[in-house]
Homo-oligomer: A and B are copies of this chain.
Amino acid sequence: MDVLNSHVSIRKFSDRKINPILVKSLLYSGTKASTTGNMQWYSIVVSETFEDRNALIQLHFNQTAAKNAQLFLTFIADLNRFNIWCKIGNAKAGYDNFLSFFTAAIDALLVAQNVCIAAENNGLGICYLGTTIYNAKEIINVLNLPMHTFPVTTIAIGYPDELPESSDRIPITGIVHNGRYKNYSESEVRELYSYKENLELYKAFIKENKKETLAQVFTDVRYKKDDNEFFSEKMLEALKEQGFLE
């Protein structure tokens, strides 16, 4: 499938506005995704105006894709709406727990990916902002998210103003396991990552960051233990505050 296979994340977007009817159609395609028990435990917050986007850019660490996008869609794991429906229906909701949160997060993520594919199929470019879970607390605040909701991911959308090359991937044999997980030997892993490690792009990364290996660029610069632990704690606190760890 060409749309899937030619995916590449876009971080530079043009000024061209996105037709609101197109946005509606993307969201509609989103809602056709599978959802647990057809309960639709998600909501989508659309940030389109300059003010609305501006309130979020900083929380996404001012990353390029966020600064340039015409539109943010924040995908929310949402038990709140369902809980209200239960209350009206004289039904005792039991969804203030981790399993329910995670189930809702799955719902929200499948919807997000559908929206991305629909967007790309219509000539738009997208970039996932993984930072959503880093600053969930602040995003909850800015977006007025009530109890029993949680922001899971955000996509930045716009018309592409660049045409990046497709990202490298490790060989598919390194991803797929037949029947059972076959653990990797060190030499297998070395082989799987050898293509990546030999790309000029990454060699430049290592040099720029004054590291010995590409793995060190990830562990010491981009995704550091201390940061991960800090944001982990913060995310768990936010989950608790939102009522998902009762």
A-side interface residues toward B, CB under 8 Å?
1, 3-7, 9, 24, 27-29, 31-34, 36-40, 42-49, 51-52, 76, 80-81, 84-95, 97-100, 102-103, 105-106, 109-110, 112-114, 116-118, 121, 126-128, 130, 133-134, 142-146, 149, 152-153, 166-170, 172, 174-184, 186, 189-190, 192-193, 212-216, 218-220, 222-226, 228-229, 231-232, 235-236
Which one of B86, B190, B228 contacts A95 once the chains associate, using CB atoms below 8 Å? Answer: B228
Pair B91/A175 contact, Cβ less than 8 Å:
no
On chain B, the residues within 8 Å of A93 by CB distance are: 219, 225
A222 to B103, CA, bound (A): 14
In the complex, chain B residues whose CB is within 8 Å of the CB of A76:
181
> Which residue on chain B has the smallest CB distance to residue A153?
B106
Q: Is the CB of A143 within 8 A of B181?
A: yes
A99 and B37 form a contact (CB under 8 A): no
A189-B88 Cα distance, complex, nearest whole Å:
9
- Cβ A31 vs Cβ B133 within 8 A: no
B27 touches A175 (CB 8 A): yes
Would you list the 9 A-B pairs with minimal beta carbon distance, nearest first? A94-B225, A89-B215, A89-B213, A91-B215, A99-B232, A113-B113, A97-B232, A91-B219, A91-B216
Shortest CB distance A192–B (Å): 8
Find A177's partner among B46, B89, B105, B183 (CB 8 Å cutoff).
B46
